[in-house]
């Protein structure tokens, strides 16, 4: 946890921060240009959190969406920014996934760290644990959640690894001794 403190204590006026902001906002811009409507709001949230000015592309996109809404060119605010309709999209399943996916990913990694191998026994075990805690999930869904989070984690690491190396890293370590895992035979 000390790494987090060291990372947040860096002087944000350094060239390092300017480079980080620029690269991070450029990557968000590319996602926005490829059709990720949520990227605009990630950029706004990032700039607000870091108390820095929004890039011109974000200001323009926000202005364009607000203009559509103000001129009644769209019926709803979300339509002004191109958000997909969530009607009929199984919101309960999406909420469950948002709530449990990272926890499932962490639990699978705890077992892997204890010497288990990826396979049916591992995913069945994690599914049983979560089911006992009230979240009914099968091994196939455990695999899906794990696989998606692993891909996202890998992409995140690849994008920001130069910054981790420069700051000495600020990733919170996974637990070394999980509760129950026993190596798979």
Q: From the CA atom positions of the chain, what is the Rg in Å?
A: 21
34 is in which domain, residue-wise? 11-85
Q: Using one digit for the tens of pLDDT, what is the confidence trace for 75-99? A: 888 888 887 766 666 777 777 888 8
pTM across the whole model: 0.48
Q: Which two tokens stand for residue 183?
A: 């190596």
User: Based on the number of CB atoms within 10 Å of its own CB, is 142 exposed (0-12), middle (13-18) or buried (19 or more)?
Assistant: buried
**Long-range contacts of the stretch 61-66 (C-beta < 8 A, 24+):** 61/32, 65/40
Tell me: do 65 and 20 sit in the same domain.
Answer: yes
Q: Is the pLDDT of residue 184 over 70?
A: no
- Domain count for the chain: 2
Tell me: do 95 and 123 sit in the same domain.
Answer: yes
Q: Using one digit for the tens of pLDDT, what is the confidence trace for 29-83? A: 998 888 888 899 999 998 888 888 899 999 999 999 999 989 989 888 888 888 7
Predicted confidence at residue 170, as pLDDT, reads 44
Any domain includes 184: no
Tell me: do 58 and 138 sit in the same domain.
Answer: no
Any domain includes 154: yes
Of the chain, the percentage scoring pLDDT greater than 90 comes to: 21
Q: Is the pLDDT of residue 15 over 80?
A: no
Predicted confidence at residue 162, as pLDDT, reads 57
| Cα–Cα distance, 14 to 20 (Å, whole number) | 10
Last residue of a domain, one of 85, 116, 146: 85
Instruction: Specify the residue for token string 């902001």.
Output: 21
Q: Is the pLDDT of residue 12 over 60?
A: no
Last residue of a domain, one of 66, 85, 104: 85
Any domain includes 157: yes
């Amino acid at each position: 946890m000390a790494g987090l403190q060291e990372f947040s204590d860096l002087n944000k006026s350094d060239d390092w921060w300017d480079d980080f902001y620029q690269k991070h906002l450029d990557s968000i811009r590319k996602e926005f240009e490829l059709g990720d409507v949520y990227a605009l709001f990630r950029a706004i949230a990032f700039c607000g959190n870091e108390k820095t000015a929004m890039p011109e592309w974000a200001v323009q996109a926000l202005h364009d969406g607000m203009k559509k809404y103000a001129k009644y060119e769209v019926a709803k605010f979300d339509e002004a920014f191109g958000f997909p309709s969530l009607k009929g999209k199984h919101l309960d399943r999406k909420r469950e996934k948002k709530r449990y996916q990272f926890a499932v990913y962490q639990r699978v990694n705890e077992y892997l760290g204890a010497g288990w191998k990826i396979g049916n026994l591992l995913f069945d075990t994690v599914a049983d644990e979560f089911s006992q805690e009230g979240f009914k999930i099968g091994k196939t869904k455990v695999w899906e959640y794990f696989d998606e989070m692993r891909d996202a984690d890998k992409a995140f690491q690849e994008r920001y690894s130069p910054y981790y190396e420069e700051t000495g890293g600020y990733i919170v370590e996974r637990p070394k001794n999980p509760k129950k895992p026993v190596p798979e035979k």
